[in-house]
Copies of this chain bind each other. A is one copy, B any other.
Amino acid sequence: MSGKRLRSDLGWSTVDRIVVRGKDLPGEILGHLNLGDMAFLELTGRAPAAPESKLFNAMVVTLVEHGVTPSALVARLTYLGAPEALQAAVAGGLLGLGSVFVGSMEGAAKLCSEAFSAGEPDIAALLARYRRVPGLGHPLHKPVDPRTVRLFEIARETGYYGKYCRFMERIAAEKRLTLNATGAIGALACELGLDWRCVRGLGVMARAVGLVGHILEEAREPMAEEIWQRVDDEASAHLKPAKR
């Protein structure tokens, strides 16, 4: 192999050492950083200060669990066929976190980061450009998403309620739509200086946690097979001979 040098700064190990982002894993990380802090370390290269830790953990915790979503159904239906491969059931559940659901976090963070890239944003111009603003609107939580309220409260407490939060709130008011949790998290990711390109990943890692919960519940109290039977019966009823 030749050409461009391959290089990663995330971690390395030798016989007796394991180092992540420049920190000794056993000595400086285990027992010191919680799982959210570790995510922050991975994404920024440094451990969070206490206010950052509080806010960042709240952001990711927000998206862990939201009941029996399509994502949870996928994990459960996959586990039904391959219980020996729990990792595949979690992975399956993550695959639908695209443009319709969790992906809007990325859109909101990108919008925030681009809007301020050249000074104060021109909101009227922005609204003209976006047919749908990511992070606005919610089918159920309206006019207010209680997660947004609480996240911005924590942001104020920790000193991270700033221009990106205000910006998203103004746009939501202008559009008369709920600023949903993904919009709030997109803005807060910018307040914390995160790269918008990893923001969808906050939702993905959070949901991976929640999906393990769903799979454990499925193992104990299954619903996947019953759902399958009901849907299959109903969906093909118009095709089958009258009496089976």
A interface residues (Cβ-Cβ under 8 A, vs B): 1-21, 25-27, 29-31, 33-39, 42-43, 53-54, 57-58, 60-62, 64-74, 77-92, 94-103, 106, 140-142, 144, 146-147, 149-151, 153-154, 157, 195, 197-198, 200-202, 204-206, 208-210, 212-217, 219-221, 223-232, 234-236, 238-241, 244
Contacts of A35 in B (CB 8 A): 34-36, 39, 57, 60-61, 64, 205-206, 209
The 6 A-B residue pairs whose C-beta atoms are closest, nearest first, are A82-B98, A81-B96, A42-B213, A201-B212, A208-B208, A26-B150
Q: Give 19 new A-B contacts, CB below 8 A, not counting A35-B36, A86-B201.
A: A8-B221, A10-B210, A12-B240, A16-B141, A30-B58, A30-B151, A43-B216, A71-B77, A73-B73, A73-B228, A80-B96, A84-B85, A84-B98, A88-B94, A91-B95, A195-B219, A198-B213, A205-B205, A208-B208
Contacts of A21 in B (CB 8 A): 65
Which residue of B33, B202, B230 is within 8 Å of A1 (Cβ)?
A: B230
Is the contact region of chain A dominated by helix, strand, or loop, or is it mixed?
A: helix
CA distance A213 to B83 in the complex (A): 25
Which residue of B98, B209, B231 is within 8 Å of A42 (Cβ)?
A: B209
A86:B229 contact, CB within 8 angstroms = no
Q: Which of A7, A87, A208, A239 has the most CB of B within 10 A?
A: A87
Contacts of A61 in B (CB 8 A): 29-30, 33-35, 38
